[in-house]
Amino acid sequence: MLTMSVEERRRRLARRHGLAAGARADSVAEAVASLVVFHATDPATVYLSALARCPGAKLADVSAALYDERTLVKMIAMRRTMFVVPTAFAPVVHSAAGLAIADRLRRQLVQQLSTLPTEPAVEGDVAAWLADVEASTERAVDARGEALATELAKAEPRLRTAVLPTTDKKWDVKQNITSRVLTLMGADGRVVRGRPAGTWLSRQHRWASVRGLWPDGIPAVPEQSAREALARRWLEVFGPATVTDLQWWTGWTLGATRAVLARLDTVEVDLDGAPGIVLASDVDHEPDDGGEPPVVTLLPALDPTPMGWQQRDWYLGPHRAELFDRNGNIGPTVWWEGRIVGGWGMCAGEIVWELLEDAGAEAVAAVESAAAQLHGRLESASVVPSFRTPLELRLTSAT
């Protein structure tokens, strides 16, 4: 059986994820494509992940790729998570993961509208009623090109239909279905997320017509072919890995994951005693660094590299408790030689950091330089992650 050491996996990670000196991207779109997708639950992640891998990029370049050039698009996909996806690859991701999520969201909403009290009351065929609301909303988005949810709710008043509370629990409150319908339509490929309502850090966004990307709607890709393409691309970037890693990343069932892998040409590999897989075309051993100088990289919370595997000890080491929140979201991290050695945050507009292990004087100097460079590229913005982790909280609360 093929064997790959932790050191070799780290070299692969650094080179394939744009964390090595000779592996940087020339454009924002190239940076995203090199990682398959970028996490976009936190708007700042997209920008900081791109800057980390594309030395020549500015914040405006990320916005341009998303909203002017349209080489990238935001969409709900794996694990019901928001991602930024290369537009050319979006139909694959949509078919492989998005459509199943849309189906689940629609069934859940129909079930609630059928069984819970609403204002105004939804009567008759609830599924048909919801389909008509979606169609009307899609026409409103197409007519405007881009609009806020509040603007769409004025155009289609049924979006303001509210599900009423049935208990006295604090969390059980009156809720309009506006965001749920639009999220469902996004997962279904009928609308996409557009420009933020404020700055690049804003969590409020507009909804945009898919016609600006695909005049005839998002192209259809057979689900089986899409899943094979997505798994193959993931293995090219994140392999070698375990079956569990791929299952977790895609959100598929174990059976579905194994069925997809059975149709790919893979070989088994020993990953430091754990069984893994790698594409048969990717079994060559990664050459050593050949004297290439190591590089420090500051990655943001929810960056696609640390969030690419479920089994993370080979690059995370003993630092999980400090760098993850209780829900499994990773905070800002400091990388050196293909592994995590610390974390960082922003306090009073300045980047603050801490190494969680002794990486040596060269690493310390490199972190100081990388932090100074990133600070200048943020153009006076101060970034606070949506999900706070123990180390980031400790660093940013220091006086």
- Give the mean pLDDT of 348-360: 95
User: If you write DSSP's letter for every residue of 222-236 in order, what string do you get?
Assistant: -HHHHHHHHHHHHHH
Q: In this predicted model, what pLDDT tens digit does every residue of 170-180 receive, in sequence order?
A: 888 899 999 99
Q: Is residue 146 helix, strand or coil?
A: strand
* Average pLDDT estimate for 185-212: 95
Place of tokens 């293995």: 235
**369 has a pLDDT exceeding 80:** yes
Query: Residue 168 domain-assigned?
Result: no
Which tokens sit at 228?
A: 């094979």
Strand partners, 175: 163
| Sheet strand arrangement including 274-279 | 2-4, 266-271, 274-279
243 within a domain of the structure (yes/no): no
Instruction: Please indicate, yes or no, if residue 391 is contained in any of the structural domains.
Output: yes
> Is there a domain that residue 105 lies in?
no
How do beta strands 266-271 and 2-4 pair? parallel
| Nearest-5° Cα angle at 397, 392 to 399 | 135
Q: How many domains does the chain have?
A: 1
Q: Is residue 261 part of a domain?
A: no
Q: Is residue 345 part of a domain?
A: yes
Identify the pLDDT of residue 399. Answer: 45
Range of the domain at 363: 296-396
pLDDT tens profile 122-137: 999 999 999 999 999 9
pLDDT band at 288 (very low <50, low <70, confident <90, very high): confident
Note the pLDDT tens digit of each residue in 258-283: 999 999 999 999 998 899 999 999 99
Q: Is residue 138 part of a domain?
A: no
Residue 90, CA distances (Å) to 78, 203, 278 in order: 12, 22, 24
Q: Is residue 32 part of a domain?
A: no
